[in-house]
Amino acid sequence: MPRKIKDAKLESRTARAKLAVAKQAYTGPTLARGLKLNYRRCVGAGRWIVRASDGHGKEWVSSFADADDVAEPNGADVLDFWQACDRAKQLARGDGASAEAKPLSVAAALDLYARDLATRGAGVANVRMVRRYVGGAFAAKPIGMLSPLDLRNWRDSLAERGMTAATINRIANGLRASLNLAASLDPRIGNHQAIRTGLKRLPGSNKARKVVLPDDDVRKIVEAAYGLDRAFGLVVEVMAQTAARISQIARLRVADLQADRAVLLVPTSFKGREKARQHTAVPIGAGLAALLGAAAAGRGDDDYLLLRSDGAPWKTNAKRDYALFQTVVARAGLDPKKITGYALRHSAITRSLLRGVPVAVVARLADTSVRMIELHYGAYIQDYADAVARRGLIEIAAPAAGNVVALAAKRN
């Protein structure tokens, strides 16, 4: 705990010079309820430290400037006692006393980002995922006082939970987006580089488990889904034919089905950078188009296309959908520990590549980028490229042995 000393011993550099150099900070004056100015005595210039309560039994502590022990105060990174008091108040409470002036905390940034996503009609699931791992003093800390070490320690704590690099990056992306949005709205937040450095992506996150199924196994899964639940069978067949994510399929409307053309207008996902809401025309088999048309008969254009057996919209529920799909895989005689719903997406993309569909077209239909296709499916692209390249080769018969004439070696 910080050592207790009288306020007067911090007011001047002469008084502070008499303090012992120590790793622990000295407790300074109480500037407001739940707000203290502390001081750490160092060999050179000491450091001013703000210690503030979040109002919920937690505290955040941050060093914010050098004391004027050596250099003259400049009002920026070297402050005298009175300047440090003002800066600590500003950091903890803002320029004014109103709630609006209070600097945004990490928790407030998540709330702000969630409202922004909801306003734009985007998914808020990623924010909910981040909130599970943001709490205590870290959640209460003002964004402008986050250091690269604060953020790196938080990111590394996720690894200590046993998470994969891909999962850590996905959670960190949600936090980064929240902090960046807050920084764009509050000019007091200037530590953009700290956010970039502290939440730098972990390498190796693209090594996703990609199970590519033979066509026969895909058919078994679709048949098993229909056998278990006809409504779910339609969802699974749409997944198998379109490579769409279940979150996209659940948002399909009746108007998105063009049965006469055997086309589905699949809504774009919420993944990636902010983008305009749009649909991609994805071809489907005539048989599936007929089944979907029958399921949509008599309903309005704005109704959900795919409904559960009880007639409710097929809103995604990760745990329920995962368990249902694993049951289907087991009924198909396959391994539910290895095969997830994404295996249908991987298989559809791979099937298209191996059958010669251009990479750009596959990327557009699957609602991803050419870069991601090349990154995850490069081996299949290379197989196809080799096969195409071989069409241009010329076969030349080897000359008969009797027609080969050996050339004499040239002598100097």
Q: Is the pLDDT of residue 274 over 60?
A: no
Asked if residues 19 and 38 have their Cβ atoms less than 8 Å apart, the reply is no
Asked if residues 175 and 134 have their Cβ atoms less than 8 Å apart, the reply is yes
DSSP state of 251: T
Give the CA distances from residue 311 to residues 58, 303, 305, in Å, rounded to whole numbers and listed in that order: 47, 11, 11
Interval 300-318 mean pLDDT: 84
Q: What's the predicted TM-score (pTM) here? A: 0.58
Residues 6+ apart with CB under 8 A from 170: 126, 129
DSSP letters for 326-394: HHHHHHTTS-TTT--THHHHHHHHHHHHHTT--HHHHHHHTTS-HHHHHHHHHHHHHHHHHHHHHTT--
Confidence of residue 348 (pLDDT cuts 50, 70, 90): very high
- Which H or E run contains 258? strand 257-258
Confidence of residue 157 (pLDDT cuts 50, 70, 90): very high
Confidence of residue 323 (pLDDT cuts 50, 70, 90): confident
Residues 6+ apart with CB under 8 A from 70: 44, 45
* Whole-number Å distance between alpha carbons of 47 and 63: 7
High-pLDDT (> 70) share of the chain, %: 82
Give the CA distances from residue 387 to residues 93, 371, 373, 391, in Å, rounded to whole numbers and listed in that order: 66, 21, 18, 7
What's residue 201's pLDDT? 87
Interval 219-235 mean pLDDT: 95
- Dihedral sign, Cα of residue 306, residue 312, residue 316, residue 318: negative
Residues 6+ apart with CB under 8 A from 293: 257, 259
Q: Phi first, then psi: give them for residue 130, nearest 5 degrees.
A: -65, -40
The CATH number of domain 106-198 is 1.20.120: no
Structure-token match 């992506």, residue found: 201
**pLDDT tens per residue across span 107-148:** 999 999 998 888 776 777 778 889 999 988 888 888 887 889
- Which H or E run contains 47? strand 47-53
The encoded tokens of residue 282 equal 């994805």
Confidence of residue 263 (pLDDT cuts 50, 70, 90): very high
What are the structural domain ranges in the chain?
A: 3-101, 106-198, 215-390
What's residue 183's pLDDT? 87
The encoded tokens of residue 111 equal 């709330």
Considering only residues 237 and 311, tell me which one the structure prediction assigns the higher pLDDT.
237
Residues 6+ apart with CB under 8 A from 274: 120, 122
- CATH number at 215-390: 1.10.443.10
| Other beta carbons within 10 Å of 189 | 21
Rg of the chain over all Cα atoms, to the nearest angstrom: 31
